[in-house]
Amino acid sequence: MPTANLQIPTADGSADAFAAFPEHGGQHPGVLLYMDAIGLRPVLKEMARELAGHGYYVLVPNLFYRYGPAPMVELPEFIGQENRVELFGQLMPMVDALTPELALRDAEAYLAFLTSRPEVSAGPVGVVGYCMGGGLAMRTAAAHPELVAAVAGFHPGGLVTDAPDSPHRLAPKLTAEVHLGLAEHDLTPEGIAELGQALDAAGVDHSCEIYPGTLHGFTMADTAAFNPDGTQRHWDRLLPLLARTLGHG
């Protein structure tokens, strides 16, 4: 599987990124993959390779590039209860500093870079996000409705908040088809209802489901939250979504 380590020019510098794409050459639909709060690391690169194996050019930027190249902190090989609190104490200032304004400025650069790659075919792209990346995927699709045809968020964070620009309030700007795969306690029943009502009222083609028996972070094989059944279900939802919307497969 061909891969590349890249630098994406942004309004605030240069973001390091990882890309994976099919080995048989040619052009392929583009997918922007947003990392979780733990950051760009081997497990996300492996997920990008898996997705690329199905015929996509997958770009995974380091969302915390303002703090330096990934990894910004020393990451353990396995993240469990014994090291999670200390790790997130280091990570959360970077998460909190990535405001919606900065994230959308970066998203414009990421999409411009992705669609300019010679390996990426003309046409719409998909945006996939994990954890904090789920909310960013929704924001990106709402800001670029002419380009983003598919949004998928898995164990997403920050989808329904009291903020005027909460991702669920951006539903009227969406043209993409949306799938959200929630862990059992990612959102309250009230939050799920509010999210569904917003998407329904905007006429967004969407699905939102709770994956049984899962914890937040269930797709991440380097964490104690990893759930093989939930991860397989995530592939079972993601791949058909991309095939339908990006005219592939």
Give every CB contact of residue 161 below 8 A, 6+ residues apart in sequence.
none
Average pLDDT, the chain: 97
pLDDT digits (tens, 9 = 90+) for 184-196: 999 999 999 999 9
pLDDT digits (tens, 9 = 90+) for 130-152: 999 999 999 999 999 999 999 99
Element (H, E) at 46: helix 42-52
Reading the block at residue 247, the tokens are 């005219």
- Number of other CB atoms surrounding residue 197 within 10 Å: 12
Name 9's bridge partners. 14
Give CA–CA dist 235/112, Å, rounded. Answer: 26
Sheet containing strand 148-154, edge to edge, reads 3-10, 13-20, 57-61, 30-34, 125-130, 148-154, 177-182, 206-210
pLDDT digits (tens, 9 = 90+) for 59-89: 999 999 999 999 999 999 999 999 999 999 9
Element (H, E) at 9: strand 3-10
Give every CB contact of residue 112 below 8 A, 6+ residues apart in sequence.
none
* In the chain, % of residues over pLDDT 90: 98
pLDDT digits (tens, 9 = 90+) for 81-121: 999 999 999 999 999 999 999 999 999 999 999 999 999 99
pLDDT digits (tens, 9 = 90+) for 196-207: 999 999 999 999
In Å, how far from its chain's centre is CA 102?
A: 16
> What's the CATH architecture for 3-246?
3-Layer(aba) Sandwich (3.40)
Parse the chain into domains and list their residue ranges. 3-246
Predicted structure pTM score: 0.98
The pLDDT, as a whole number, for residue 248 is: 65
The pLDDT, as a whole number, for residue 219 is: 98
The answer on pLDDT for 249 being more than 60 is: no
DSSP-assigned letters across all residues of 98-136: S-HHHHHHHHHHHHHHHHHSTTBPSS-EEEEEETHHHHH
